[in-house]
């Protein structure tokens, strides 16, 4: 560079006045907050009011800035600037300004020039210009300046042309363009403008080949409603109506493509290449015009009804087998929309064949594309039923009817139908239950295995309804579901006990198998179990069930009964129904708990007779004896009642011994009604069960099982139990499972129990060793860890055929003996489980007795057996339950509720000494607490009878203290005396008074 070169001189910046306020307004117009944008728009408009007389240059400059702002993607600039532009155009051009040379045409030229694109811009810049033109067109239309009397009409088609040109060239903007024209129709109608403006829009729609598009359909329908007298372009739709029945196939094609169109030339609209996950606004326009319309045979121009539209356009269009997942997604969106917003009539018609098939398939597998959408739809159905319980009938019919699948829940691995029927109201259930009855008869499958599976599913749904509605009897619900519950049980009874119908037309197809009948009987038991939990239905519905069976046997309406009943059995049942009839008549006069309990017990016993229970007949005779004694009016009523009470306890124990929740609940309800009439003998029956061993020997002793015949009976019972246990996998099973594991066994010093357990272990080990020895002898070999130095010279010797046959025979004998041993072990395990279950049920009954009769001295007889059970039982659940019953008993016996001694008090003193002897045994901490509570309860009883008895009580505690100090066999816990001392402190004041 030459040394004398000084470079060019800097150009002096020209003075430029910047309007800071306008800059701030333009900045605020782009704000993302509505209130800031509106305030900025108001501020801008206020500067160009007529009273301020703005110049044309100022107006032109502002318009130019606003049109540029529409092309900006910054924040919410397009929204803010379009609002300001619409208001500015209205303020400037609505009334012709004197002395102004600026015309609306100039503003339109500015809009067109500022939003014009060329091929030199980037893709993003082109999109910005297109959006700017679109927002500008919307602002110009909203300003209504083109509809003013002084406005030039020729500018209107030009503006429309620019909008349609965007829709044609850029299909991904077609929906937005269509929305502007769609709203325009309503604006024109609201302003009562001439139809020529609408006709220009329709002409532009047709000239740009957009009439047969979703946007075109929506605009056309709006125009027909708002301007019925307008001149519509011809040969576009039949009768100028897209919803004409003859246009259904074309309408389906148009709506199926939605945002795409088939291309036949360069000027045709092309596919956007992108997919919109939202529903097109045209669907709303169509649905709102078909919801209340029905096809009329007299009128050739009648519109499609909603059902016809849904079947043709949605089901056969979007949900066709060849449709893509994207179109099916739109279909699910529509389905969801109708479920959430549609009328009951519309919602009932959307469960069409292809839709339900697609829904089933998508729900079944989690990794399918539309699984999450299908789950959302499933929840929408349930939500509609929860909000509108009457919709349940339509939902069940749609999902399980001709369009759906009988086993919908099984196929989809959901509980959709189960939840729907649980929420259904009485009116809906009146439609649903008969449908389920028909499906039980004809489950829609010829294959026996499939039919059995479908019937099991239907029976499970009926049970779900019972469980959901039976609880309403204990609530303040206004609905009474008794008729529905009786109808459900009537259907189950019909197919559980009368599988063979004389009339072939009404016979189940295929015929019900024995397993299905047994399953249905189990469902009846499970249903009754739920019903018994409701006091409102407990006595009436079981009676209605057995009465229906009796009537059906007499009339043979459903064919022959599934079991043969001899004359003796029929007479017993007949006598039982006579008693039930008497009980029902007495209930009407004045219902009591004892009458309801007898009615329930009779009904359940008769049901057992109908279920071919071998013990039910004798139980029915004993029950008849109880009824005669309880309800009789003889002179020896007291003795008769005592005998009847003892017999009743035995009957209830027979029910309680069964592994069924139904019989457990029934026995508890009946026992609660007669608990105050339980005698000493009846209580002894309960105690004897608690004292029995939890083993096979205990079971044989309890049920008088002796000899080989009895062992066979045991095997049969085990077999029956195995069948019941096989059904436990089904959640609807009525069988209770009680774990009789040895985990966390309480400590016990009972030598007998320890010896039994030790003997069992030793016996098992000996049996295994014996089996191994016999197996080794049969094979002529030995275990790897024995006789390692023995001569193995014969190990490689070959055997001939006779020797091989001899070995086979020996092996067969060994394994036969092993099977017998295994069967014996299984019998022991089953017997243990049975005894644990039985003791649990007896403890439930004792707890009921304690709650109702805790102030009776008879209840004191329970203290010692419960303490021994808590210490001796090897099952933690049993021991814990016994302790809980004792704790509940001692809590109830307070103040005036303490039992009062009548007669001699020596038995109570003996009980106190026995409890102290029990406290000396080693046991778990809970046992020590229980013995202390029991001892203090007896002390309260003695002191309440005679305050002087406190001296004897002190002597008893002193003897126990001596044993603690002097005997190594005494294991009394310190807390035993701590509780005694605390009681002495609290009771000293009362004793001194």
Q: Is residue 439 a contact partner of residue 458, using CB atoms and an 8 Å limit?
A: yes
Distance between CA atoms of 324 and 99, rounded to whole angstroms? 62
Mean pLDDT of the chain: 82
850 and 900, same domain (yes or no) = yes
856 and 958, same domain (yes or no) = yes
- Considering the domain boundaries, does residue 195 fall inside one? no
33 and 62, same domain (yes or no) = yes
Higher-confidence residue of 16 and 83: namely 83
Tens digit of each residue's pLDDT (9 = 90 or more) over 649-696: 888 888 888 777 888 888 888 888 888 888 888 889 888 888 888 877
Q: Is residue 341 a contact partner of residue 382, using CB atoms and an 8 Å limit?
A: no
Cα dihedral 331, 335, 338, 340 sign: negative
Whole-number pLDDT of residue 6: 47
DSSP state of 315: I
Average pLDDT (732-744) is: 50
Distance between CA atoms of 83 and 70, rounded to whole angstroms? 10
203 confidence band (pLDDT: 50, 70, 90)? very high
310 confidence band (pLDDT: 50, 70, 90)? very high
Helix/strand/coil for 812: helix
Question: Which residue, 683, 642, 624, is CA-closest to 852?
Answer: 683
Whole-number pLDDT of residue 584: 80
- Considering the domain boundaries, does residue 684 fall inside one? no
299 confidence band (pLDDT: 50, 70, 90)? very low
Question: How many domains does one find in the chain?
Answer: 4
> Last residue of some domain: 105, 128, 152?
152
Higher-confidence residue of 614 and 400: namely 400
Q: Concatenate the DSSP letters of all residues of 406-470 into one string.
A: TTHHHHHTS-HHHHHHHH--HHHHHHHHHHHHHHHH--S-SSHHHHHHHHHHHHHHHHHHHHHHH
760 and 899, same domain (yes or no) = yes
Tokens of 812: 């067969």
Tokens of 25: 């307004």
- Considering the domain boundaries, does residue 868 fall inside one? yes
Q: Distances in Å between the alpha carbon of 173 and those of 126, 211, 270, 783?
A: 13, 16, 11, 85
Whole-number pLDDT of residue 436: 92
- Domain extent at residue 895: 696-719+748-782+805-992
- Considering the domain boundaries, does residue 361 fall inside one? yes
Distance between CA atoms of 776 and 910, rounded to whole angstroms? 60
pLDDT at 720 over 90: no
Whole-number pLDDT of residue 695: 78
pLDDT at 735 over 60: no
454-472 residues labelled b (16+ CB within 10 A) or e (exposed): bbbbbbbbbbbbbbbbbeb
369 and 453, same domain (yes or no) = no
707 and 855, same domain (yes or no) = yes
Whole-number pLDDT of residue 166: 92
User: How big is the chain by its Cα radius of gyration, in Å?
Assistant: 45
- Considering the domain boundaries, does residue 283 fall inside one? no
Whole-number pLDDT of residue 729: 41
Q: Concatenate the DSSP letters of all residues of 839-859 into one string.
A: HHHHHHHHHHHHHHHTTSGGG
pLDDT at 350 over 90: yes
DSSP state of 318: I
- Considering the domain boundaries, does residue 265 fall inside one? no
478 confidence band (pLDDT: 50, 70, 90)? low
Higher-confidence residue of 913 and 100: namely 913
pLDDT at 803 over 70: no
Tens digit of each residue's pLDDT (9 = 90 or more) over 545-596: 989 988 888 888 888 887 777 788 888 888 888 888 888 877 766 656 678 8
505 and 395, same domain (yes or no) = no
pLDDT at 746 over 60: no
Distance between CA atoms of 871 and 524, rounded to whole angstroms? 39
832 and 953, same domain (yes or no) = yes
Between the two ends of the chain, the Cα-to-Cα distance in Å is 128
Helix/strand/coil for 475: coil
Whole-number pLDDT of residue 432: 92
Tens digit of each residue's pLDDT (9 = 90 or more) over 924-941: 888 999 999 999 999 999
Q: Concatenate the DSSP letters of all residues of 322-354 into one string.
A: T--HHHHHHHHHHHHHHHHHS-HHHHTT---HH
Whole-number pLDDT of residue 768: 62
Tokens of 138: 């919307």
Distance between CA atoms of 780 and 789, rounded to whole angstroms? 16
> Last residue of some domain: 124, 152, 180?
152
Tens digit of each residue's pLDDT (9 = 90 or more) over 20-60: 888 899 999 999 999 999 999 999 999 888 888 888 898 99
pLDDT at 536 over 80: no
369 and 451, same domain (yes or no) = no
Higher-confidence residue of 783 and 851: namely 851
Question: H helices of 148-230, where?
Answer: 155-169, 174-190, 195-207, 214-226
Share of the chain above pLDDT 90, in %: 38
Q: Is residue 944 a contact partner of residue 898, using CB atoms and an 8 Å limit?
A: yes
Q: Is residue 869 a contact partner of residue 879, using CB atoms and an 8 Å limit?
A: yes
> Last residue of some domain: 422, 440, 468?
422
- Considering the domain boundaries, does residue 737 fall inside one? no
848 and 953, same domain (yes or no) = yes
Cα dihedral 510, 511, 514, 516 sign: positive
The answer to which of 405-414, 641-650, 723-732, 771-780 has the lowest mean pLDDT is 723-732
Whole-number pLDDT of residue 158: 94
Distance between CA atoms of 265 and 958, rounded to whole angstroms? 113
DSSP state of 230: S
pLDDT at 364 over 90: yes
Tokens of 531: 């019903």
Longest dimension (CA), the chain: 149
Helix/strand/coil for 191: coil
Report the interhelical angle of 514-532 vs 661-674 (nearest 10°): 40
Helix/strand/coil for 760: helix
328 and 441, same domain (yes or no) = no
Whole-number pLDDT of residue 677: 85
Q: Is residue 217 a contact partner of residue 283, using CB atoms and an 8 Å limit?
A: no
- Considering the domain boundaries, does residue 872 fall inside one? yes
315 and 375, same domain (yes or no) = yes
Tens digit of each residue's pLDDT (9 = 90 or more) over 403-431: 888 989 999 999 999 999 999 999 999 99
């Amino acid at each position: 560079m030459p040394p004398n070169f000084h470079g060019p001189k800097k150009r002096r910046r020209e003075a430029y006045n910047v309007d800071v306020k306008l800059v701030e307004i333009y900045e605020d117009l782009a704000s993302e907050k509505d209130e800031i944008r509106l305030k900025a728009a108001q501020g801008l408009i206020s500067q160009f009011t007529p009273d301020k007389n703005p110049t044309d240059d100022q107006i032109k400059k502002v318009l130019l800035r606003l049109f540029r702002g529409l092309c900006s993607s910054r924040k919410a600039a397009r929204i803010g600037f379009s609002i300001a532009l619409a208001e500015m155009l209205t303020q400037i051009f609505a009334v012709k300004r004197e002395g102004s040379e600026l015309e609306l045409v100039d503003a339109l030229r500015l809009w067109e020039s500022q939003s014009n694109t060329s091929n030199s811009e980037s893709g993003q810049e082109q999109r910005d210009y297109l959006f700017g033109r679109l927002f500008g067109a919307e602002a110009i239309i909203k300003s209504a300046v083109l509809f003013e009397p002084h406005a030039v009409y020729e500018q209107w088609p030009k503006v429309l042309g620019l909008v349609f040109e965007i829709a044609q060239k850029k299909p991904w903007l077609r929906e937005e363009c269509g929305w502007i024209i769609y709203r325009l129709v309503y604006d024109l109608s609201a302003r009562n403008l001439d139809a020529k403006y609408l006709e220009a829009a329709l002409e532009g729609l047709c000239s740009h080949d957009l009439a047969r598009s979703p946007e075109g359909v929506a605009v056309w329908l709006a125009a027909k409603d708002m301007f019925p007298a307008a001149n519509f372009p011809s040969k576009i739709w039949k009768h100028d109506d897209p919803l004409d029945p003859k246009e259904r196939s074309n309408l389906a094609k148009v709506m199926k493509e939605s945002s795409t169109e088939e291309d036949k030339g360069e000027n045709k609209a092309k596919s956007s290449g992108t997919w919109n996950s939202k529903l097109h606004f045209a669907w709303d326009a169509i649905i709102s015009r078909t919801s209340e319309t029905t096809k009329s045979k007299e009128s050739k121009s009648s519109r499609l009804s909603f059902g016809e539209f849904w079947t043709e356009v949605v089901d056969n269009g979007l949900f066709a087998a060849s449709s893509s997942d994207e179109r099916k997604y739109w279909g699910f969106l529509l389905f969801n929309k109708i479920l959430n917003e549609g009328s009951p009539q519309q919602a009932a018609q959307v469960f069409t064949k292809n839709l339900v098939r697609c829904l089933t398939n998508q729900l079944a597998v989690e990794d399918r594309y539309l699984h999450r959408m299908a789950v959302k739809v499933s929840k929408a159905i349930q939500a509609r039923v929860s909000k509108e319980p009457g919709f349940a009938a339509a939902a069940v019919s749609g999902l399980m009817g001709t369009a759906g699948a009988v086993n919908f829940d099984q196929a989809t691995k959901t509980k959709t139908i189960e939840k729907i029927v649980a929420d259904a109201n009485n009116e809906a259930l009146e439609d649903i239950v008969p449908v389920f009855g028909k499906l039980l008869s004809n489950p829609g499958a010829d294959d026996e295995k499939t039919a059995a599976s479908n019937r099991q599913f239907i029976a499970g749904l009926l049970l779900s309804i019972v469980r959901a509605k039976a609880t309403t009897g204990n609530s303040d619900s206004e609905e009474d579901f008794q008729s529905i519950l009786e109808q459900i049980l009537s259907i189950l009874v019909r197919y559980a006990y009368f599988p063979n119908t004389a009339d072939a037309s009404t016979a189940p197809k295929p015929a019900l198998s024995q397993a299905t009948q047994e399953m249905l009987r189990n469902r009846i038991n499970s249903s009754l179990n739920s019903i018994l939990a409701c006091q409102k239905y407990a006595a009436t519905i079981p009676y209605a069930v057995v009465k229906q069976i009796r009537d059906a046997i007499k009339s043979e309406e459903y064919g022959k009964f599934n079991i043969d009943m001899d004359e003796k059995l029929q007479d017993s049942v007949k006598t039982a129904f006579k008693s039930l009839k008497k009980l029902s008549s007495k209930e009407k006069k004045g219902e009591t708990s004892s009458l309801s309990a007898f009615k329930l017990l009779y009904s359940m016993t008769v049901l057992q007779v109908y279920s071919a229970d071998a013990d039910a007949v004798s139980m029915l005779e004993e029950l008849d004896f109880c009824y005669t004694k309880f309800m009789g009016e003889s002179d020896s009523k007291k003795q008769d009642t005592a005998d009847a009470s003892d017999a009743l306890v035995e009957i209830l124990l027979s029910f309680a011994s069964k592994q069924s929740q139904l019989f457990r609940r029934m026995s508890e309800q009946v026992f609660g009604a007669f608990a105050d009439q339980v005698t000493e003998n009846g209580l002894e029956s309960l105690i004897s069960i608690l004292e029995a061993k939890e083993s096979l020997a205990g079971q044989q002793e309890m049920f008088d099982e002796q000899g080989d015949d009895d062992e066979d009976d045991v095997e049969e019972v085990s077999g029956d139990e195995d069948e019941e246990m096989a059904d436990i996998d089904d959640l609807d099973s009525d069988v209770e499972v009680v774990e009789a594991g040895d985990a966390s066994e309480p400590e016990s010093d009972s030598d007998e129990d320890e010896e039994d357990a030790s003997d069992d272990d030793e016996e098992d080990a000996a049996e295994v060793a014996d089996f191994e020895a016999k197996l080794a002898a049969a094979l002529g070999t030995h275990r790897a860890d024995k006789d390692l130095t023995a001569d193995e010279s014969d190990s490689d010797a070959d055997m001939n055929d006779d020797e091989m046959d001899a070995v086979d025979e020996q092996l067969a004998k060994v394994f036969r003996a092993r099977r017998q041993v295994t069967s014996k072990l299984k019998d022991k395990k089953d017997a243990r489980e049975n005894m644990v279950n039985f003791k649990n049920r007896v403890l439930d009954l004792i707890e009921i007795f304690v709650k109702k009769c805790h102030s009776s001295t008879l209840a004191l007889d329970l203290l010692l057996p419960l303490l021994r059970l808590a210490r001796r039982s090897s099952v933690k659940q049993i021991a814990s339950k016994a302790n809980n019953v004792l704790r509940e008993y001692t809590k109830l016996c307070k103040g005036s509720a303490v039992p009062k001694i009548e007669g001699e008090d020596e038995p109570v003193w003996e009980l106190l000494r026995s409890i102290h002897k029990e406290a000396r045994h080693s046991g778990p901490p809970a046992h020590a607490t229980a013995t202390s509570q029991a001892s203090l309860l007896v002390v309260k009883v003695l002191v309440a009878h005679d305050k002087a008895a406190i001296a004897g009580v002190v002597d008893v505690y002193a003897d126990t203290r001596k044993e603690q100090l002097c005997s190594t066999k005494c294991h009394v816990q310190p807390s035993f005396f701590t509780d005694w001392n605390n009681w002495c402190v609290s009771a000293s004041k009362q004793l001194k008074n």
